[in-house]
Amino acid sequence: MRLFLITLAIAALLTGCNGQKTKEDAKKSTGVDADSLAMADKALLDTVQYQTFNYFWDGAEPVSGLARERIHLDGIYPNHDKDIITTGGSGFGLMAILVGVERGFITREQALERYERIVDFLEKADRFHGAWPHWLLPSGKVTPFSKKDNGGDLVETAFLVQGLLTVQAYFKDGSEREKQLAAKIEELWEGVEWDWYTKNSEDVLYWHWSPEYQWEMNFPVGGYNEALIMYILAAASPTHPIEKSVYEKGWGVDGAITKDTTYYGLETEMNHYEHSDAPVGPLFWAHYSYLGLNPKGLKDQFGDYWKLNQNHALIHYKYCVDNPKDYEGYGKDCWGLTSSYSINGYAGHRPEADLGVISPTAALSSMPYTPEESKQFLRFMYNEQDSLIGKYGPYDAFSLEDDWYLPRYLAIDQGPIPVMIENYRSGLFWKLFMANEEVQKGLRKLGFESPNMEPADD
């Protein structure tokens, strides 16, 4: 019923209002005033949040309550992986469920029941020195993400823990039952052996380890990429913390992370690629670590994280408006490149590695950084490209150049949408995560400053 009313409101408010126009243009050419346009935008935001939340609610894997790696509405799963659980995507989903509570899609009691099932599952699921694997089966057993990736995945674990700590903050002062949930989450958090993933005390965190292949994946995580949250949580751990030197030498690559460049007139703030000359990465780098971590005013020795993320999003926007490869559709209404499904499987899309494929999560999840540009894309999708929208929101990716799309979704792309839109609207997840005292201690330990942290105790 709620979605029906939202859709009805959109239809009424947007009649005669071209979604490609600015507020001023709309007012001049259609008589739709700014207040009406704001109401229409609110209805659109409610709608896309409801649809993307629902991926993690109605679309969840039924045994665990966690997120499926992918949902294909066409029913075609070439790798027979319909029920594969994604741990990182589930971390995003934990937060998306709170959007459902706050926006009235579900009750607090319904969310609590789901979280209890999830936490019970995670307690029994395979872990490797406390880290969960990238993928799990409904039995709780690991299933390989790739041949040698059949053990702990510390980056995916960090995304999961970010979500768990946010849920903990939401419920920790509630009823006895809610406090019990928060206590169980604390045990899961304390069980992650972050320091063990330094591979015998090297000054860097490693992405993977498995009992069968040990360290053969050999992926030391240096910045800049999507994994900042892993280093922050590792420093914040009350039981298995890393030293500051691991952050400085590993993530910071002994200062090389600060070798920025200028692209489309904007400073990139950090070196987005340690091993290539690419100017910026795919836009999910500006989302995954910042679902809970508030980049507003966040600074350390390496840079200004609001500037980093806002410029990252604006560079993508300017690139698509410039459209150097002359792709069909690119422009002020249609922009945003990230890793997603693509014309030939899965691909990482970014400026200078661009296939003419737009991934809606890129612009929509950038809402806090580029509110007007992101809302312009939102209007374009729902007013002019509604064939690209299904039960769980905009499909994962599309190409107007090649007249291509599939009615398919990925958890890691749908999850950031409702969460980052909520951060734009209310700051909910930034408030919850940043209130965690252990997280604040970890940030201070690494040298971060933020107006969203309490002053350090003397």
- Return d(Cα 383, Cα 401) in angstroms, integer: 19
Beta bridge partners, 210, equal: 214
Type of residue found at 141: K
pLDDT at position 458 is 52
Give 278: exposed, middle or buried? Use CB within 10 Å, 0-12, 13-18, 19+. Answer: middle
- Return d(Cα 25, Cα 33) in angstroms, integer: 10
- Return d(Cα 356, Cα 376) in angstroms, integer: 19
- Return d(Cα 86, Cα 67) in angstroms, integer: 6
- Return d(Cα 114, Cα 116) in angstroms, integer: 5
pLDDT at position 32 is 56
pTM of the model: 0.93
CA angle 414, 10, 377 (to 5 degrees): 45
Q: How many CB atoms lie within 10 A of CB 89?
A: 30
H helix runs in 274-351, sequence order:
305-322
pLDDT at position 4 is 38
Where do the domains of the chain lie?
2-446
Angle between helices 154-171 and 108-124 (to 10 degrees): 140
pLDDT at position 81 is 92
Residues of the chain short of pLDDT 50, as ranges, are: 1-31
- Find how far residue 241's CA is from the centre of its chain: 24
Q: How many CB atoms lie within 10 A of CB 260?
A: 18
On whether the CB atoms of residues 184 and 129 are closer than 8 A, the answer is: no
- Return d(Cα 169, Cα 338) in angstroms, integer: 30
Return the CATH fold of 2-446. Answer: Glycosyltransferase (1.50.10)
pLDDT at position 275 is 66
7-46 confidence digits (pLDDT tens): 434 444 443 344 333 334 433 434 457 777 788 999 999 9
pLDDT at position 24 is 43
